[in-house]
């Protein structure tokens, strides 16, 4: 099984060895700097740092000789769905799109936006396969990022470390996804997806290592939030519940 990057330094070394241009290296560096901010304190449901997953996705795309715009889009593929643009509200908005386009360019932003809007269930996969020869270049790039995302999730058996995510994910990771990879012209991805799925079927993850969370989550840096809660609790008798709530909301906006 191929070993993919999980840190920014591993990603930089990989893209240098792949002979990308200096301009491409700069764009990758800048995209990672943005990813650090967007996914600060963000974790996958299994506890894996979200930025590590993003790096892994970009790393897989590099092995497929993807243009740097696709690599950068892979690094930021979850910007709208999981990234914090400053208000801890997730989802795509025109303001976020404009901001992202200013930082990474309209081409990358359009790929990320289309990725965000792409449904990924059996019906969507079936439709994609039926239109495989009619897909635009951007649509094919988005599907490639989707495949890289799924492979990255499976390589370290990540989904098996989350109790609630196991069943829902198993329904998606079927041979139809492997067929999409083959039909798009990525046999290596198809092969690695099959290997990963086979490993997942026989893997036995101890229950004490499985997290209960079913979706990604955010942890504030350090112990600030527990400290604030403890402080407010200690002076609660002096404040009304409404005041306590407003103080917590104000702190989260500042944080």
Pick the closest to residue 86 from 161, 14, 30, 34 (CA basis). 34
Is the pLDDT at 247 greater than 80? The verdict is: no
Closest Cα to residue 150, out of 130, 171, 123, 135? 171
CB 57: neighbour CB atoms within 10 A?
A: 27
Which pLDDT value is given to residue 175? 76
Q: What is the pLDDT of residue 77?
A: 98
pLDDT on residue 169: 45
Measure the CA–CA gap between 149 and 95, rounded to whole angstroms: 26
How does pLDDT run across 40-93, given as a tens digit for each residue?
999 999 999 999 999 999 999 999 999 999 999 999 999 999 999 988 789 999
pLDDT at 111 over 80: yes
Indicate whether 227 pLDDT > 70.
no
Decide if pLDDT at 168 tops 50: no
CATH of region 8-209: 1.10.3210.10
Section 133-156 average pLDDT: 95
What phi and psi values does residue 156 have, to the nearest 5 degrees?
-105, 20
Please give the pLDDT value at position 171: 44
Separation between Cα atoms, residue 70 and residue 147, nearest integer Å: 13
pTM value is: 0.85
As a whole number, the mean pLDDT across the chain is 87
Res. 170: pLDDT tops 70: no
What average pLDDT does the segment 29-48 reach? Answer: 96
pLDDT at 152 over 90: yes
Please tell me the predicted confidence (pLDDT) of residue 244: 60
């Amino acid at each position: 099984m191929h070993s993919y990057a999980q840190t920014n330094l591993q990603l930089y070394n990989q893209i240098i060895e792949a002979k990308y241009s200096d301009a491409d290296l700069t764009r990758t560096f800048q995209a990672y700097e943005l990813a650090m901010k967007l996914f600060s304190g963000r974790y996958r449901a299994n506890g894996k740092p979200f930025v590590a997953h993003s790096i892994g996705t970009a790393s897989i795309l590099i092995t497929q000789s993807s243009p740097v715009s696709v690599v950068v889009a892979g690094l930021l593929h979850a910007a709208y769905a999981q990234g914090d643009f400053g208000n801890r509200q997730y989802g795509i908005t025109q303001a976020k799109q404009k901001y992202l386009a200013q930082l990474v360019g309209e081409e990358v932003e359009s790929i990320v936006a289309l990725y965000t809007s792409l449904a990924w269930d059996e019906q969507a996969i079936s439709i994609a396969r039926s239109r495989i020869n009619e897909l635009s270049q951007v649509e094919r790039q988005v599907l490639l990022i989707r495949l890289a995302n799924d492979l990255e999730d499976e390589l370290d058996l990540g989904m098996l470390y989350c109790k609630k995510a196991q069943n829902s994910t198993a329904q998606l990771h079927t041979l139809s996804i492997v067929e999409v990879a083959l039909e798009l012209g990525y046999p290596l991805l198809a092969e690695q997806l099959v290997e990963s799925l086979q490993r997942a079927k026989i893997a036995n993850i101890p229950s004490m290592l499985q997290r209960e969370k079913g979706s990604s989550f955010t942890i504030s840096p350090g112990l600030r939030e527990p400290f604030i809660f403890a402080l407010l609790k200690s002076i609660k008798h002096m404040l009304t519940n409404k005041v306590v709530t407003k103080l917590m909301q104000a702190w989260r906006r500042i944080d």
